[in-house]
Structure 1
Amino acid sequence: MQEESVRSPSYTVPCDDYVHVVEFSPFSSGTSASLLAYGGNQFVVVATCLFQEEDMEVEGVEFNVLRAFHHDLRVDALAWSPESRLDRIPTLRLCTAAADRKLRLLTSDLQDRHEVEVMEGHTSYINHLVFEPTEGKQIASVSDDHTCRVWDLDGRKPTIFRLRSPGVSVCWHPEEVFKLMVAEKKGTIRFYDLATHQAILSLDCGPIASADWCFSNPIKVGAVSGNDWLIWDITRSSYPQEKRPAHRDKAHLFRWSRANDNLFATTGCPGKISSQLLIHHLGHPQVCVRSPSFRWSCGLGSSLRIPFFCSR
């Protein structure tokens, strides 16, 4: 029997309340790559997190809290804006979703400006949201109300795409900024043209829990359905090119590596004893890393654990 590979966290952050969601900034320009945000019942904390692998002057891990925002309700989803930066004119901008079906746009200059703008329109739970990745002037969100909405930052009436089932994931690729990828729970992934507001491509499989558009190779799309992970080459077929079982219980999340288009991670359903975080490589038949599952959540008075996995 093959021994499982389990890694301990590189750094632990003490927390005084539950943490429900955490996101590193996905943008690699300048100091924005070190930005990390996590949200709990009534707060969002923004910090920097540098590893020695990224900066030789750092000993181990360097974690520094920049700003804490009050949040009216529990944070259920969070997305970073590409406008966030820590250079000459510091700007922090991120958006959250909460159980009141509203988006909250949080902006700070780390000095006098600390703004919260509320966006209303969804009529059910918001499952995922993302900023337009080049300029950050729009936000896309998907919901159980069978819509994908594209919002301007001024809160004007959003563009609405009507879906056939709840939206579970939405992705915006920096090389395809006029297209939006939306995954629906019943098993369809559609690409929408943002100029014509028409669907231009669809991918099919069984019920989808999560999907992602590969950052380093835009012809690749991945998802989890049931216990399996699935990979599409969108230039070849609307059906998956690869499909393999991953979790004993239902899979919950799929995320591509931003540095390697053969590397991706999946998680099992939260709360299941057998649930794990798995890291997969398309060139290897076996799972690369197994780790006890985490949702970046922790108990009251517990800790936020930050693992570091090299993407070589």
Structure 2
Amino acid sequence: FRARFGVERNGENLLADGVYSKNSEIKDGYPEFTMQMLMDLGWDGDLTAEERASIDAVAGPETNWKTDLSGGIQRVAIKHECAPFGNAKARALVWNFPDPVPLHREPLYTNRRDLVEDYPTYEDKTFWRVPTLYESIQKKDFSKDFPIILTSGRLVEYEGGGDETRSNPWLAELQQDMFIEVNPRDANNMNIRDGKDVWVSRPEGARIKVKAMVTERVGEGVAFMPFHFGGHLEGKDLRDKYPKGSDPYVLGESTNTVQTYGYDSVTQMQETKCTLCSIMPA
């Protein structure tokens, strides 16, 4: 494992104990490689004059394998059958995360109000001077007006935002409409028919217009939308907004429009896999 987190913590060794890669000349754990480490091992003589000059120009002995523009530190470490990124123990306890050991926490928008007390979210926080809401959202119950759990994911035909793949005529032919998957029982209760347009709304006010796919691929109370579409906004086609010749063959609503507020406390990525929505015929 990479030695990214130092060599010890609270007096405990974080480097590997007596294990190493095959043919490694260091028969134990070791930190990330630096120029100083090469010098201490006597391996700096394996550097070329050009590599050494480049390393000196960066930070001299403090240059590490990640900042070495010449690649010399990496090359020499690998020559001696060592990993440039070090040899450390697996990190099971992530002490600089809010939950050093992962815990289940209910989504900010959840219809399982009985679980909120046992698995609450975080307190509202400020990250890098940016206020981020958690508890103040979760304490409100949106499930009566927005009873369907909404999640999103990938399609085989498209990838990412979809601009590139929706501009491919062969792939665009395979997926021509943005859609939402709805369980047959929910569709019956909401008077939704397969292939018909529906409005999908979120608690924060936005809504999108998409095709309904009535299918048992989603369970009762759950809906799914792909995340590869764009070019429509709340029922309006925005194709005329594209520069000439740059619009993809297929446009559609973006699921992000109806995803709700919520951010992962570590990566600050948006919460697009677990929220609530309402669905009604268009």
Bigger relative CO (Cα 8 Å, ≥ 6 apart): 2
TM-score w.r.t. the length of structure 2 is: 0.24
TM-score w.r.t. the length of structure 1 is: 0.23
Between structures 1 and 2, the one with greater helix share: 2
Between structures 1 and 2, the one with greater strand share: 1
